[in-house]
Amino acid sequence: MSALPRGRAARRSGTIGQSANAIPWESFMSDKRKVLVTGASGYVASLLLPEFRKRYDLVLVDSRKVDGKGAEVPGIVEADLGNPDRTKYQHLFAGVNAVVHLAYRHSSRSSGATWGQDVPPLDRFDVEFANVQMAQNVYRVAYDAGVRRVAVASSNHAADWYEHALVHTRKKDMVFPHELPVSDNFYGWSKAAYELLAFPYASGIFGRKLEFVLIRIGNPYETNGPKHMQDASPSPEHGGTGQSNFKRNLGAHLSARDCAQLFTKAVEAADIRNEHGVPWALIYGISANSRAFWSLESARRVIGYAPEDDSEIKYAADIAAILTGPNAGAGPGKTGA
Ligand X SMILES: NC(=O)c1ccc[n+]([C@@H]2O[C@H](COP(=O)([O-])OP(=O)(O)OC[C@H]3O[C@@H](n4cnc5c(N)ncnc54)[C@H](O)[C@@H]3O)[C@@H](O)[C@H]2O)c1
Footprint of ligand X on this chain (CB under 6 A)? 38-39, 41-45, 62-64, 68, 80-82, 102-106, 134, 153, 155, 217, 220
Question: In what side-by-side order are the strands of the sheet with 76-78?
Answer: 76-78, 57-62, 34-38, 98-101, 149-155, 211-217, 280-285
Strand partners, 284: 216
The nearer residue to ligand X, 39 or 146, going by C-beta atoms, is 39
The nearer residue to ligand X, 177 or 220, going by C-beta atoms, is 220
The nearer residue to ligand X, 41 or 185, going by C-beta atoms, is 41
The nearer residue to ligand X, 22 or 61, going by C-beta atoms, is 61
Task: Annotate 298-327 with b (16+ C-beta within 10 A) or e (fewer).
Answer: bbeebbebebebbbbebbeebbeebbeeee
Q: How far is the CB of 156 from ligand X (least distance, A)?
A: 6
The nearer residue to ligand X, 103 or 281, going by C-beta atoms, is 103
Q: How far is the CB of 17 from ligand X (least distance, A)?
A: 32
DSSP 132-172: HHHHHHHHHHHHHHT--EEEEEEEGGGGHHIIIIIITTTS-
Q: How far is the CB of 153 from ligand X (least distance, A)?
A: 3
Task: Indicate the pairing of strand 149-155 with strand 98-101.
Answer: parallel
Comparing C-alpha atoms, which of 124, 186, 134 is closest to residue 160?
Answer: 186
Q: How far is the CB of 26 from ligand X (least distance, A)?
A: 31
The nearer residue to ligand X, 62 or 318, going by C-beta atoms, is 62
Q: Is 333 left (phi over 0), alpha (psi -120 to 50) or beta?
A: left
Q: In whole angstroms, what is the distance from residue 59 CA to residue 35 CA?
A: 6
The nearer residue to ligand X, 19 or 133, going by C-beta atoms, is 133
∠ CA(156), CA(162), CA(166), 5° rounding? 140
Task: Annotate 150-177 with b (16+ C-beta within 10 A) or e (fewer).
Answer: bbbbbbbbbbbbbbbeebbeeeeeebeb
Task: Annotate 23-48 with b (16+ C-beta within 10 A) or e (fewer).
Answer: bbbeebeeeebbbbbbbbbbebbbbb
Q: Which residue is nearest to ligand X (CB)?
A: 42
The nearer residue to ligand X, 28 or 194, going by C-beta atoms, is 194
Q: How far is the CB of 172 from ligand X (least distance, A)?
A: 20
| CA dist 47 → 102, 107, 197, 260, 278 (Å) | 12, 22, 26, 6, 29
Q: How far is the CB of 300 from ligand X (least distance, A)?
A: 19
Q: How far is the CB of 271 from ligand X (least distance, A)?
A: 25
The nearer residue to ligand X, 15 or 38, going by C-beta atoms, is 38
Q: How far is the CB of 310 from ligand X (least distance, A)?
A: 19
Q: How far is the CB of 103 from ligand X (least distance, A)?
A: 4
